[in-house]
Structure 1
């Protein structure tokens, strides 16, 4: 009785054309199908094994008013839907009565989890519960994204352990790693939970309230509480992917030039490719299994909350301290520069 994989991520958006345009025109997702129900219009987009639903309409109004554009549903595939529902509610989740396609329960903040059964067609099926109309498969750019690598979730201070236990007991996710990161007078704590299949990885983050307020606190303020901070997409080759997506309008965070001098001293074996990484602003980290390359976008949404990440793994399995610190520092520097 456990969650295995992510069926889809559903975004609630004020502007369908702008949101779908960014995901399709800039990030390279394909428009697959459209569905409507009272108060909500939904477009399904797909790239690799990643399915993203963009929903707009009056039924999304309350969420949008409270949180702005962002993830409203992180739908999960389970080995036993009824059993997972029972364990989730026993762990403290509340069952929701307006679910589409399967039972749904509360997760964190305004985000819910709709539960779907696993199956051999899980990666290609249209999510159940909606009357989908296929969209014409117009030729698009080369697909760079293959998998939803992980989801970063920002939580209120003092709730990290409770949420970790909630996902362990309620959904069968295992505690994979933890990291406390200090940056100047600011700090955050994090725990990574992951399904046994590896199909679900949540990085749960909370600010340290004993420290000065920073970008994690800013997210909580702008989002009016906990929510999905970013979706990390796995790519095969990050440098050409960044150049291509930047050319299609994706605005990535910039990396200080001094970072690459430090990087060459940290990883002298990468000296031959430092110039390429610097030209794309790509960050690098290493753990005992290999290397991780990554870069973060700026948020394309009005409140500046949800953003995206590109990840390339060269054997790396985890989330090292330098990795998490790079994310924190890059966003913090960008936030301060914008003030």
Structure 2
């Protein structure tokens, strides 16, 4: 069995976590090169990877003949340059979200990939790889609950860092639901609105919580509760309401604790705990898809672009209080129909 040789750009928290899973959990892969603007951190990571090369720049890593594919985990504003460089080099690239920080930059990536004539880019939207979300989609696709009419979502964080901004509730938090519902319903989002309820005392300067309303192209409505300072834990919820029934994500924890006359289910601390398994499946399926010169089959450059456009519409709706239509460029044939499995 051939081994995919991967270079990782960005050795911060998520980069190191992907390196850990590729070296200790997953099969068919070897990390052969790393780089980061924090040279000392990158050097320490490289020293723990026998035979791996430490590169001065992302472009140097991409050009390394010992690198078959690239994983981009660097700061968001650098994603465009590294993804474009990977496309130019003809190397598959897995890019953590966002694909790029503006919709124009995402569209440049889409056009570069179309010009290359083949799929090379995958974007890190891990919800599609979560066992609970996959089970929910199977029920929706089966027709068991009839035509989907609505979906209720909640994205709750115990807290967020001090640099988190008002718009981050859409661009950094709800963007996961934005990608997920496109995949869940198999269609694009046509408009966004934001409702602002009473402000939580835990939100500080933020307007927290928010209610994001998404209109699907087929007529279904999706509401996303975004609460980022709810204190009790990291709680992700989703329920699809159909003509003939409903289907919802299962319990947060596989165990139920009974003690001191109370019954409880533990709540995840953060996104790493909740989606640990999804990240493992996501990267393993990316590796498997590239075996024998294959192409990635997960969330693509168009998905990254569409998420950016919807996020911008959501931010505009937050600022204006108005319903904001989503205006997408024509979808290239390279990307087929919207939001295919996985």
> Which TM-score band applies after superposition, normalised by the shorter structure?
under 0.3
More strand by share: 1
Greater RCO, CA 8 A, separation 6+: 2
TM-score normalised over the length of structure 2: 0.26
